[in-house]
Structure 1
Amino acid sequence: MSMLWLNRCVSGIVLFCAFSCADVHAQFKRNLTTQIFAPSSSFQMPSTWAEVLPSSDSYLHDSTRAETPMRALKLLPDHLTIFESVLWGSTGVFRGFSPLTPEARRRELDFRRTMLSTHQVLGFATLALMTASVVFGQILLNDYEALRFEEALRNRQTHRTLSIITFGTYMSTAAMSTFAPPPLIRRDEWNTVSTHKLLAIFHFSGMVAQPILAIMASNSRDLEQIRTLRRAHQIVGYFTLAVLAAAMLTLTF
Structure 2
Amino acid sequence: MKYFVILLGCLLISLTAWTQDTTRVKASSADSLLTELFDSASGTQPLLPDRMVFTQRAFWGQKGLLRLTGLAPLNAENRQKELKIRRTMLVSHQVMGFITLAGFVAQGILGSQLYNAKGADYTRLHDTHETVGTIINYTYGTTALLSLTAPPPLIGKRERGLNSIKIHKYLAILHIAGMITTNILARKIGQNPDLKPYHRAAAYTTFAAFTAAMVVMKF
The TM-score, its normalising length taken from structure 1, stands at 0.69
Q: In the alignment, is residue 174 of structure 1 matched against residue 144 of structure 2?
A: yes
**Counterpart for residue 35 of structure 1:** none
- TM alignment of 1:97-112, pairs within 5 A: 97-112=71-86
Deviations 1:165-216 (A, max 9, x none): 1111000000100000001224322421111111001111111222211111
Please report how far the alpha carbon of residue 69 of structure 1 lies from its aligned counterpart in structure 2 after TM superposition.
6.2
Please give the secondary structure, in 2, of the residue aligned with 1:53.
helix
Paired with 1:205 and 1:175, the residues of 2 have a C-alpha distance of: 16
**Any unmatched runs of 5+ in structure 1?**
1-44, 55-67
Paired with 1:85 and 1:161, the residues of 2 have a C-alpha distance of: 35
Aligned match for 1:203, one of 163, 175, 179: 175
Whether the aligned pair in 1 keeps the contact of 2:175 and 2:206 (CA below 8 Å) is yes
The TM-score, its normalising length taken from structure 2, stands at 0.79
Paired with 1:76 and 1:210, the residues of 2 have a C-alpha distance of: 37
Larger radius of gyration, structure 1 or 2? 1
Aligned match for 1:247, one of 197, 213, 216: 213
How many pairs align? 186
**Counterpart for residue 119 of structure 1:** 93
**Counterpart for residue 232 of structure 1:** 198
Deviations 1:22-56 (A, max 9, x none): xxxxxxxxxxxxxxxxxxxxxxx8844431224xx
**Percent same amino acid among aligned pairs?**
38
**Counterpart for residue 123 of structure 2:** 153
**Any unmatched runs of 5+ in structure 2?**
1-29
**Counterpart for residue 93 of structure 1:** 65
Paired with 2:188 and 2:34, the residues of 1 have a C-alpha distance of: 53
Please give the secondary structure, in 2, of the residue aligned with 1:52.
helix
- TM alignment of 1:1-253, pairs within 5 A: 47-54=32-39, 70=43, 72-95=44-67, 96=69, 97-143=71-117, 148-189=118-159, 190-218=162-190, 220=191, 225-226=192-193, 228-253=194-219
Paired with 1:119 and 1:50, the residues of 2 have a C-alpha distance of: 25
Whether the aligned pair in 2 keeps the contact of 1:78 and 1:186 (CA below 8 Å) is no
